Amino acid sequence: MNSPSSAALGRCPIDHQALQRQLAPNGCPVSANAAAFNPFEPAYMQSPGDYLRWAREQEPVFWSPQLGYWVVTRYEDVKAVFRDNILFSPAIALEKITPAPPQVMEILQSYGFAMNRTMVNEDEPDHMERRRLLMDAFLPERLSTFEPMVRSLARQYMDRFVDKGRADLVREMFYEIPLNIALKFLGVPDEGAEQLRQFAVAHTLNTWGRPSPQEQLEIAHNVGRFWQTAQQILDDMRARPDGEGWMYETIRQHLAHPDVVPESYMRSMMMAILAAAHETTSNATANAFLTLLTQRKAWEDICANPALIPNAVEECLRVAGSIIAWRRIATDDAVVGGVRIPKGGKLLVVMASANFDPRHFENPDEVDVYREGAVEHLTFGYGAHQCMGKNIGRMQMRVFLEEFVRRLPHIRLVAGQQIDYLSNTSFRGPSELWVEWDPALNPGRSGSPTAASAEPFYIGPPAKDSIARTVVVRGKHEEGEGLCRIELADPRGGPLPAWSAGAHVDLIAGGFRRKYSLCGPADDRSLLQVVVQREGDGRGGSRHFCDTLEVGQALQLSGPKNLFKLDESARRFVLIAAGIGITPVMAMADRLKRIGKAYEIHYAGRSRRQMALLDRLEREHGGHLTLYVKAEGRRMDLPTVLAHVDGATRVYACGPDRLIDELENLSERWPEGVLHFEHFSADGSALDPAREHAFVAHLKDSDVDVLVPPDKTLLQALQSAGFDVPCDCNEGLCGTCEVAVVEGEVDHRDKVLTKSERAANQRMLACCSRAAGQKIILAL
Ligand code: HEM
Ligand code: FES
C-alpha cells in the first residue's frame, strides 16, 4: 500500500526546505518557482508568456537549477542583454542545451559533424565584419523580387485545397512555401527537400531540446545525416560558384575574403541556415493564423481592412513568435535587472516573456492588430545580431494573410483539435493546424479570386499611418470655456482596448492627426474619453475635433500608447497639472486612488471656466486636490508644493514649457527617476535644411556609418539604412525614437529628456535632435 501523500495529510507537497538549500551561483537561495521552472514541460510551449508571468512580476531574473541557466524575462532586461553582445556573448546560441552522452558525440563524429561558428553565434569583431559582407541580399530592395514569387506560390497551393472545405495548413502550405522560398533565396537546388523537415526537427531537438539519452542516439544520426547533406549541397555549389543566391554570394565572399568568411563558417552556416531560413517563417505563419483565428475579432478586423495586415503580422510575432527564447553567455561578472551574474553564467533570454511585459506594452495580454509599437517586439532579437532575414519572414506572413482574407475569409479553426509543439526551449510552432470552411461560400465564386492588389508592396516594418481603428463619437460635452470632452466608442459596441494611466491616443479626422491623453475611468472598456482644448490660433486640428465633429460621426483612432507611465512602486505621489495638462493627471489620480497610494493633485488654471474635469476631480479626489485659480488670486508655488519630495516620491507633471522648465530647475538635486513630465506641444522641431549641417552617425553595434544630410532627420537616415527605429510623434514629444549615445555632443531639440539626462549625453531623440559636431557614435 502506498503511504498517504503529504498533500493528502494537508501538508504542502513542495519540500521548501530542500528548495531553500539550493543556491544560485551568486549565493542567493533559489525560490520554489525558479526551482520548478522547466521549459521542457508542455505548459511552457503552450503559452510561454503565461508560463513566466510569475517571473515578470516577482523574480524577473532567476537562476534555473533544472536548466543551469539564468532566465531573463522582462522587456528592458532582455533588450539590455541583446544590446551588449560583448558582455553577453552569443557564442552558446547553438550549443547543445542538453549535454550529450559520449556515444552521441561518437555518432556525430562518425558523420564528420563539425558545427562551429556561423553568424548568430560569432563574437566581435569577426561577426560584424562578416555580417556586413553578407548583408546586401537581405536589403528590402533586393527582396522585392521574392514577393511575386511568394504570392504566386500561395495562390497555387490554395488552389489545391480551396474547394475542399478542410485543410491542415501546416502540411498543405505553410511548411512548403517558406521552404521553397528559403531554398530559392539561398540558391540551393530543391531536390531532396522533403528530408529537410525530419532533419530540422532533429537539429532543433539536438540543440534546444531535452531528449532522453536513448532518443539522443537516434537524433544524432539524423543530425549527422543533415550535416552530410548540407556539406554535399555546399560542395556541389562550390563546383559552380557563379550561381545566384545568398549561399553563392557567401562562397564568392569566401573566395575573396577567406579570413572574414572562412571555410568552417560556410560549412556550419550551410546546415544552420537550411533550418533557420524556413522553420522560423513556417512556424511564425502557423502561429499567426492560430492566433488570429482564435481571436476572431482580430481576424474579422483584418478581413474588413487588409491594410492592417502588416501590423497584424508584427502583433502575431509579438504574442506568438516562432523563436521564443535565445541564449547568451556572460563574458565577465555582470548585472541584469539588479541580479549579479558571475562570469561564465549562461542566460536564457525569453523574448516570448518580454513581449508580454506590461512595463513596455500597453495591455500586453490582448491581441490588438491596431497596436502601435507592435513592431517593438523582440522576436527577431535586437542589436548587432538582430535577425538578418526578418523582412523575408514578414513579407511571407503578410502575403499569406492577404491571400487568405481575400479568398477564405470564412475559415475557422477545427474545433477541439489539440495543438502540439515540439518540446524545446526556443522554436515554437504547431505541428498541424486544421481549418475548415464551407466552399459554397467562397467569395471567389462571385468575384475574382486572383485579382492583384493595386497597392504597391512595401517590404519592411508596417507603415504607421495604416494602423488605426474606426471609432464613433458617442458624446460631446462642453467642459468649460474652449474645452470639449469627447467620448468615443466602438462602432459595433464592442470593447475598446484597455489602457493605463498616462496613455494617449491619436485622433485622425478631417486631415488632422492629434494626440490626446486619455482621462476617462480606465476600467470602462466601452468608452475612451479625451478633452480637447480649442485653440483659436492653432493649425485647425483642435477646432475640427471640437466644432466640426458631430455625435455619431466616425473617425480614426490609433493607440492607446503610454509614454508617461506611472511607477506604481513609489510610496507617495505628487501630481502637478496646468491647464489641459490635467487629463493624464486625472487618470493617474484615478489609478492611485484605486491602488490605495498616497497622492496629492496640484492643479493650476487661469479661471475655473478654463479648467477641465473640475466636477469629477472635486467629487472623486476632493480630499487630495489643491486648486490654484489665477482669477481668484491663487498661484501655484512650486517650491512649497515640492518641499517634501524624497527618493520615495514620484512627481508627475503635465503642462506648458514654463512649468516644466521651473520643475526641472527645482529638481536638479533630486535622485534620478523622481521627476516625470509630459509637455503639451513641441515648437521649432521642423527641420530647416538651410540652417542644418550634415553629420555622420556611426552605429557602434552594427559597425556602420550612416550619413545624415541637412535635409533629413537622424531618424529618417537610420530608417533608410534599414534600421527599425520606432517613432511616434516625429516631433520630439513622445520619447519613442530614443537612441543610445556612446560618444559625441548632441544638439538636443526634444521635449522629453530632463536637463540632467541631457547633461549625461547618453540618449538622444532621433526624430529631432542632431549631432552638434561632424560625428556622433550611437549604440545601435
Ligand atoms: C538571427 C528570429 C527568419 C536569417 C535570428 C535571431 C532570431 C531570429 C531570434 C537571433 C537574434 C539575436 O541574436 O539577436 C527569426 C524569426 C524569423 C526569422 C522569428 C521568422 C519569422 C529568418 C529568415 C532568415 C533568417 C527567413 C534567412 C533567410 C537569420 C540570420 C541570423 C538570424 C542570418 C543571424 C544574424 C546575426 O547573428 O548577425 N533570427 N528569424 N532569419 N536570422 Fe532569423
Ligand atoms: Fe516622438 Fe521622436 S518620435 S520623440
Q: Are residues 576 and 510 in the same domain?
A: no
The predicted model gives 720-746 an average pLDDT of 83
Ramachandran bin of 373, using left for φ above 0, alpha for ψ from -120 to 50, beta for the remaining angles: left
Same domain for 548 and 628, yes or no, is: no
| Whether the predicted pLDDT of 233 surpasses 90 | yes
Q: Strands 572-578, 649-655: parallel, antiparallel or unpaired by DSSP? A: parallel
DSSP string, 356-414: T-TTTSSSTTS--TT-TTGGG-STT--GGG--TTHHHHHHHHHHHHHHHHHH-TT-EEP
Same domain as 493, residue 401 = no
Residue 219: its pLDDT value, please? 94
Residue 554 has pLDDT above 90, yes or no: yes
**Ligand 1 atom with least separation from CA of 278:** 26
259/314 same-domain check: yes
CA–CA separation, 34 vs 51, rounded Å?
Answer: 12
Ligand 1 neighbourhood includes 284 CB (under 6 angstroms)? yes
Q: Are 328 and 350 in contact (CB under 8 A)?
A: no
Same domain, residue pair 160 and 232? yes
* Ligand 2 in reach of 737 Cβ (< 6 A): yes
Domain final position from 561, 589, 617: 561
Clarify whether residues 299 and 402 are in a common domain: yes
Which protein residue's CA is at the shortest distance from atom 36 of ligand 1? 385
Residue 451 has pLDDT above 60, yes or no: no
For residue 9, is pLDDT > 60? no
Query: In a mutational test of the pocket of ligand 1, which residue from 179, 196, 280, 428 has the highest number of ligand atoms less than 8 Å from its CB?
Result: 280
Average pLDDT, stretch 488-503? 92
| Cα 393 to middle of ligand 1, angstroms | 9
Q: Which residues contact 300 (CB under 8 A, 6 or more apart)?
A: none
Q: Which of 205-219, 314-328, 667-681 has the lowest mean pLDDT?
A: 667-681
Q: Is 511 exposed, middle or buried (0-12, 13-18, 19+ CB in 10 A)?
A: exposed
**Ligand 2 atom closest to the CA of 715, numbered from 1:** 2
In a domain, 57, yes or no: no
Q: Report whether 412 contacts 169 (CB < 8 A).
A: no
Of 718, 751, 767, the residue with max ligand 2 atoms within 8 A of its CB, to mutate for a pocket test, comes to 767
Which range among 68-77, 141-150, 153-162, 593-602 shows the weakest confidence by mean pLDDT? 141-150
Burial of 523 (0-12, 13-18, 19+ CB in 10 A): exposed
611 has pLDDT over 60: yes
Which residue(s) pair with 348 in the sheet?
A: 71, 327
179: its cell numbers: 521552404
Using CB atoms within 10 Å of the CB of residue 560, give its burial: 0 to 12 exposed, 13 to 18 middle, 19+ buried. buried
Question: Ligand 1: which residue has its CA nearest to atom 25?
Answer: 389
Q: Does residue 276 line the site of ligand 1, with CB under 6 A?
A: yes
DSSP 628-647: EEGGGT----HHHHTTT--T
Q: Is 764 in the pocket of ligand 2 (CB under 6 A)?
A: no
**pLDDT value at residue 445:** 56
Q: Please give the Cα distance from 383 to 700 (Å, whole number).
A: 10
The average pLDDT across 39-47 equals: 96
Does residue 386's CB lie within 6 angstroms of at least one atom of ligand 1?
A: yes
Q: How far is the centre of ligand 1, averaged over its atoms, from the C-alpha of 594 (Å)?
A: 43
- Ligand 1, residue 178: give the atom nearest the CA: 26
- Kindly tell me if the per-residue pLDDT of 649 is higher than 90: yes
Would you say the CB of residue 464 lies under 6 angstroms from ligand 2? Answer: no
Residue 131 Cα: closest atom of ligand 1? 38
**Counted domains in the chain:** 4
Instruction: Assess if residue 204 is contained within a domain.
Output: yes
pLDDT in tens, 95-132: 999 998 899 999 999 999 999 999 999 998 899 889 98
Q: How many CA atoms lie within 13 A of 453 on its CB side?
A: 17
For position 553, which CATH number holds? 2.40.30.10
Please report, for residues 266, 400, 449, the alpha-carbon distance to residue 302 in angstroms, rounded to integers and kept in the order given.
41, 12, 17
Pairing state of beta strands 166-168 and 434-436?
A: antiparallel
Residue 5 reports pLDDT greater than 70? no
Q: Which of 5-19, 176-190, 536-550, 662-676 has the highest mean pLDDT?
A: 176-190
User: What pLDDT is stored for residue 107 in this prediction?
Assistant: 96
For range 684-703, the mean pLDDT: 81
Ligand of minimum distance to the alpha carbon of 397: 1
Using alpha carbons, select from 513, 506, 507, 557 the residue that is nearest to residue 539.
513
Which ranges of 595-693 does DSSP label H, i.e. alpha helix? 614-621, 638-641, 657-666
The dihedral through the CA atoms of 172, 298, 402, 180 has a sign that is negative
Confidence (pLDDT) at 453 = 53
Query: Does the CB atom of residue 281 touch ligand 1 within 6 A?
Result: yes
**Beta strand 572-578 with 598-605: parallel, antiparallel or unpaired?**
parallel
Ligand 2 within 6 A of CB of 765: yes
**What separation in angstroms does the CA of 521 have from each of 132, 194, 607?**
51, 56, 25
pLDDT tens figures, 236-253: 999 998 999 999 999 999
User: 768 alpha carbon to ligand 2 midpoint, in Å?
Assistant: 7
* Cβ of 266 less than 6 Å from ligand 2: no
Confirm or reject: Cβ of 175 under 6 Å from ligand 1. Answer: no
- The CB of 736 under 6 Å from ligand 2? The reply is yes
Q: How close is the Cα of 349 to the center of ligand 1, in Å?
A: 15
Work out the pLDDT band at 588, boundaries 50, 70, 90: very high
Q: Which residue has the CA at smallest separation from atom 14 of ligand 1?
A: 381
Q: 3-state DSSP call for residue 220?
A: helix
Task: Establish whether residue 184 lines the binding site of ligand 1, counting it when its CB lies within 6 angstroms of any ligand atom.
Answer: no
CB 351 within 8 A of CB 365: no
Model pLDDT for residues 360-412, shown as the tens digit of each residue: 998 899 999 999 889 999 999 988 898 999 999 999 999 999 999 999 999 99
User: For residue 736, what is the domain's CATH number?
Assistant: 3.10.20.30
Residue from 718, 728, 748 to probe ligand 2 pocket by mutation (most atoms less than 8 Å from CB):
728
3-state secondary structure of 57: helix
Beta strand ranges found along 158-243 (DSSP E): 166-168
CB atoms closer than 10 angstroms to residue 419: 17
598-605 and 625-629 beta bridge pairing: parallel
- Model pLDDT, residue 17: 59
* Residue with grid cell 482564435, as numbered in its chain: 294
Q: What is the CATH number of the domain that holds 179?
A: 1.10.630.10
Give the HSE-up count for residue 475: Cα atoms under 13 Å, Cβ half-sphere: 12
Whether residue 714 has its Cβ less than 6 Å from ligand 2: no
- Claim to verify: residue 192 and residue 215 sit in the same structural domain: yes
pLDDT in tens, 499-524: 999 999 999 998 888 889 999 888 88
CA of 722 to the centre of ligand 1 (A): 15
Q: Which of 391, 268, 347 is nearest to 84 (CA)?
A: 347
14 — pLDDT class (breaks 50, 70, 90): low
Contacts of 634 (CB under 8 A, 6+ apart): 627, 628
Quick check: is 455 in a domain? no
Q: How far is the CA of 729 from the centre of ligand 2 (A)?
A: 5
Q: How far is CA 9 from CA 19, 30, 123, 174, 578, in A?
A: 20, 26, 55, 51, 62
Cut 0.80: pTM above it: yes
End-to-end CA distance of the chain: 64
652 CA distance to ligand 2 middle (Å): 20
Answer yes or no: is the C-beta of 728 below 6 A from any ligand 2 atom.
Answer: yes
Of 618, 571, 129, residue with least CA distance to 384: 129
| Ligand 1: centre distance to CA 667 (Å) | 44
Q: 108 near 220, Cβ under 8 Å?
A: yes
Residue 143: inside a domain: yes
Handedness of CA 259, 263, 264, 267 (dihedral sign): positive
pLDDT band per the 50, 70, 90 thresholds, residue 135: confident
pLDDT at 191: 76
**pLDDT for the residue 691:** 85
Kindly state whether residues 292 and 152 are assigned to the same domain.
yes
Q: What is the pLDDT of residues 70-90, one digit of tens each?
A: 999 999 999 999 988 999 999
CA separation for the pair 39, 270 (Å, rounded):
28
What separation in Å is there between the alpha carbon of 390 and the centre of ligand 1?
Answer: 6
Which structural domain, as residue segments, surrounds residue 541? 468-561
Q: Is residue 447 part of a domain?
A: no
Per the omega criterion (within 30 degrees of 0), is the bond before 639 cis?
Answer: no
Residue 302 placed within a domain: yes
β-strand pairing of 69-72 with 61-64: antiparallel
Which domain-ending residue is among 647, 679, 711? Answer: 679
| Residues 391, 505 share a domain | no
ipTM for the whole complex: 0.95
Q: Whose CA is nearest to atom 43 of ligand 1?
A: 387
Which pLDDT value is given to residue 771? 96
List Cβ<8 Å contacts ≥24 apart for 35-43: 35/65, 35/66, 37/62, 37/64, 37/66, 37/67, 37/71, 38/66, 38/67, 39/67, 39/325, 39/348, 39/424, 39/425, 40/209, 40/210, 40/423, 40/424, 40/425, 42/421, 42/423
Segment 589-602, tens digit of pLDDT? 999 999 999 999 99
Q: How confident is the model at residue 22 (pLDDT cuts 50, 70, 90)?
A: confident
d(CA 352, CA 366): 14
Q: pLDDT at position 701, please?
A: 77
Specify whether 723 is located in the same domain as 626: no
Which ligand 2 atom is the nearest neighbour of the CA of 737? 2
Q: State yes or no: pLDDT of 553 exceeds 80.
A: yes
Question: Rounded CA gap, 368 and 292, in Å?
Answer: 10
Atom of ligand 2 nearest to the CA of 733: 4
Ligand 1 centre to CA of 281 (Å) is 10
Instruction: Check pLDDT > 50 for residue 473.
Output: yes
CB-ligand 2 contact for 726 (6 Å cutoff) = no
CA distance 410 to 742: 52
- The reply to whether 50 falls in a domain is no
Q: State the cell numbers at 81.
A: 542583454
User: What is the chain's mean pLDDT, rounded?
Assistant: 90
Least reliable range by pLDDT among 246-250, 455-459, 540-544: 455-459
Distances (CA, A) of 211 to 224, 279, 306, 656: 16, 20, 42, 61
Give 544's contacts (C-beta < 8 A, 6+ positions apart): 509, 510, 512
Please indicate, yes or no, if residue 453 is contained in any of the structural domains.
no
* Residues forming a β-bridge with 695: 708
Choosing from 679, 706, 731, the residue where a domain stops is 679
pLDDT (0 to 100) of residue 11: 56
Task: List the Cα angle 596/599/605 in 5-degree steps.
Answer: 140
Given a contact cutoff of 8 angstroms between Cβ atoms, the answer to whether 466 and 312 are in contact is no
User: Residue 428: nearest ligand to its CA?
Assistant: 1
Confidence band of 185 (pLDDT split at 50, 70, 90): very high
Instruction: Please tell me the number of the ligand nearest to residue 269's CA.
Output: 1
Residue to mutate (ligand 1; options 289, 387, 391, 459; most atoms within 8 A of CB): 387
d(CA 141, CA 423): 37
Distance 132 CA to ligand 1 centre (A): 15
Position 629 pLDDT exceeds 70: yes
Distance 769 CA to ligand 2 centre (A): 10
429 lines ligand 1 (CB under 6 A): no
User: Cα(314) to centroid of ligand 1, in Å?
Assistant: 15
CB-based burial label for 16 (10 Å; 0-12, 13-18, 19+): exposed
Q: Which ligand is nearest to the CA of 246?
A: 1
Is there a single domain that holds both residue 506 and residue 617?
A: no
Ligand 2: centre distance to CA 324 (Å): 29
724 band by pLDDT with thresholds 50, 70 and 90: confident
- Counts for the chain of helices (H) and strands (E), in that order: 27, 28
Contact between 327 and 81 under an 8 Å Cβ cutoff? The reply is no
Determine the pLDDT at residue 283. Answer: 97
Closest C-alpha residue for ligand 1 atom 32: 387
Q: Which three cell numbers stand for residue 174?
A: 505553410
CA triple 456-460-466, angle to 5 deg: 60
Neighbours of 308 (CB within 10 A): 23
420 in the same domain as 293: yes
